[in-house]
Amino acid sequence: MHKHVFIIVVVALVSLFACSCAGSTPGGGGGFYVFCNPVDLAPVNDYVAGYGFPSFGDTLTLLGGGGSGGRGKVEWGGFGGGSIRRVFSGADEAELRVGFGGVRLGYCLEATDRLDVMISGGMGRLGANLLLTGTNSAEFSLSSFLMCAGTAVRYHLTRGLCFEVGADYNHVAHNCWRREAGILPEPDPTDLSGISLRLGLRFGLMR
């Protein structure tokens, strides 16, 4: 279902691209983003709790960035972010790393002189790593294809500088952990799909 929605979005954006490029001036920009992903980390939290560790929490906060070029009202570019969390139980440590990156195709609707509304679809990869050191040592990894679709609002503070607020739905196709080291059993499957919110500051001329 999510894959079909993603394909429809991409086909629509490609069609808009052909209609919007004629006679337009190319532009580009990029910047910094903070991503907030409220996902269900209960399988990971329950797993580390079984070895005496506190919870990692239920929301992933990732730092990253992105950049894009465009022509007319169509943009294409890349994005990515990552997060590291550590919890301790005495001298033992548990670390959770999550990162993602990919490419995005978007269509930007100019609402006012300062405000843009953008729809987009993208694809890439997501990876996660869970490392336990100390009394019970083990390492696990999770790697998956990622698809996303969403919208964003940009407010142009000045020419060449804008503030962006966006929301995407990320579909993570694979949710099973693989043991890389140690003899401990793998955590239960962890679904990292869900809504991703982002705040960003972009530099460059997209108009």
For the chain, the structural domain boundaries read 2-205
**What are the backbone dihedrals phi and psi of residue 68, each rounded to the nearest 5 degrees, phi first?**
-155, 155
pLDDT in tens, 42-67: 999 999 999 999 999 989 999 999 99
CA pair distance 166, 156, nearest whole angstrom: 15
CATH number of 2-205: 2.40.160.20
Residues contacting 87, CB < 8 A, separation 6+:
48, 53, 54, 55, 56, 93, 94
pLDDT in tens, 63-97: 999 999 988 889 999 999 999 999 999 999 999 99
Q: Which amino acid is at 24?
A: S
CA dihedral over 144, 149, 155, 159, signed as positive or negative: positive
Q: State the Cα torsion 170-173-176-180 to the nearest 10°.
A: -90
Mean pLDDT of all residues in 97-111: 92
- Among 13, 2, 128, residue whose Cα is nearest residue 62: 128
